[in-house]
């Protein structure tokens, strides 16, 4: 009991700092001239992010499977004022393509400041009945390709003190029925990227990692998937895209967006944050810092 009395004030101070410390104000000029990759950019949130970045004067590299859609988006990005706009078409089911894509993009852009990972494999909302190939595909596209892309980009991001932005979901923070394979892949993103964020912090790697937790967004694919199943109000994809970019530019650890209400506060899980802070003190990280 005495231990808890000593611990509680520390906990409240820690949480107050975490929640209420002032963030730097976002300014569109932060992206001017920056070299940015956006995956899953042929439609929905990815396309809107490309447009926002173009209006901010960034160098934009987009990728998705549809070459025809990407050509149109690149042309529109140039009209919106992008410093430059490029595309490379391909599928993130192919890990060799994912790795080579980053190398090619880096050569075309002349480096990299921000990597925004947004792509997912298509999925329907239905009870899980043992479709193992779907689980494997969801993990490969929604998770493993994110690891491949981020590790391929890391040398360039170290040089620029850049940012990795991971687009995730409420389904990666809480159990969600009818989307078990999708949810598993999003939980994996949190586990992996939150862990390496800690590693980067301790080993002084100045590359930020922003995890974006989204509610229901009014993309065509999401609206089709939830039709007649989910009665949640959707948020606009244009605003969502902007909030993701802001979070990455401000190097925030997490961004929450959508009609979340109290979920926004509850999903932040102060208990987990505090335990992670305490547990890190148990590790001997000096051997890794010295190496």
Catalytic residue among 51, 143, 182, 256: 182
Task: Classify the C-alpha dihedral 103-105-108-111 as positive or negative.
Answer: negative
Residue 65 · residue 39 · CB < 8 Å? no
* Pairing state between β 84-89 and 208-214: unpaired
* Pairing state between β 84-89 and 59-64: parallel
Q: What angle do CA 219, 143, 86 make, to 5 degrees?
A: 60
Collapsing DSSP states into helix, strand and coil, what is residue 104?
helix
User: Both tokens of residue 62?
Assistant: 């987009």
Could you give the CA distance from residue 257 to residue 249 in angstroms, rounded to a whole number?
Answer: 16
Q: Is 17 a catalytic residue?
A: no
Kindly list the catalytic residues. Answer: 182
């Amino acid at each position: 009991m005495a231990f808890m009395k000593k611990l509680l004030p520390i906990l409240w101070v820690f949480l107050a700092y975490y929640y209420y410390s002032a963030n730097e104000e976002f300014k569109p000029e932060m992206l001017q001239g920056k070299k940015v990759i956006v995956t899953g950019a042929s439609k929905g949130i990815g396309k809107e992010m490309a447009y926002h970045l173009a209006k901010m004067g960034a160098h934009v590299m987009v990728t998705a499977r549809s070459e025809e859609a990407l050509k149109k988006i690149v042309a529109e990005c140039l009209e919106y004022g992008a410093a430059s706009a490029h595309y490379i078409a391909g599928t993130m089911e192919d890990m060799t393509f994912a790795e080579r894509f980053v190398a090619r993009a880096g050569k075309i852009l002349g480096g990299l400041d921000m990597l925004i990972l947004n792509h997912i494999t298509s999925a329907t909302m239905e009870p899980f009945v043992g479709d193992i190939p779907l689980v494997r595909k969801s993990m490969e596209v929604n998770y493993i390709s994110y690891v491949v892309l981020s590790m391929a980009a890391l040398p360039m991001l170290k040089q620029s003190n850049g940012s990795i932005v991971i687009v995730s979901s409420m389904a990666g923070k809480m159990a969600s029925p009818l989307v078990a394979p999708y949810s598993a892949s999003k939980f994996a993103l949190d586990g992996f990227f939150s862990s390496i964020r800690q590693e980067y912090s301790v080993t002084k790697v100045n590359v930020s990692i922003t995890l974006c937790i989204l509610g229901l967004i009014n993309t065509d694919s999401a609206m089709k998937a939830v039709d007649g199943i989910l009665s949640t109000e959707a948020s606009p994809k244009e605003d969502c895209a902007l909030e993701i970019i802001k979070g990455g530019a401000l190097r925030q650890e997490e961004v929450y967006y959508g009609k979340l209400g109290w979920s926004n506060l509850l999903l932040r899980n102060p208990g987990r944050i505090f335990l992670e802070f305490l547990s890190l003190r148990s590790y001997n990280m000096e051997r890794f810092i010295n190496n």
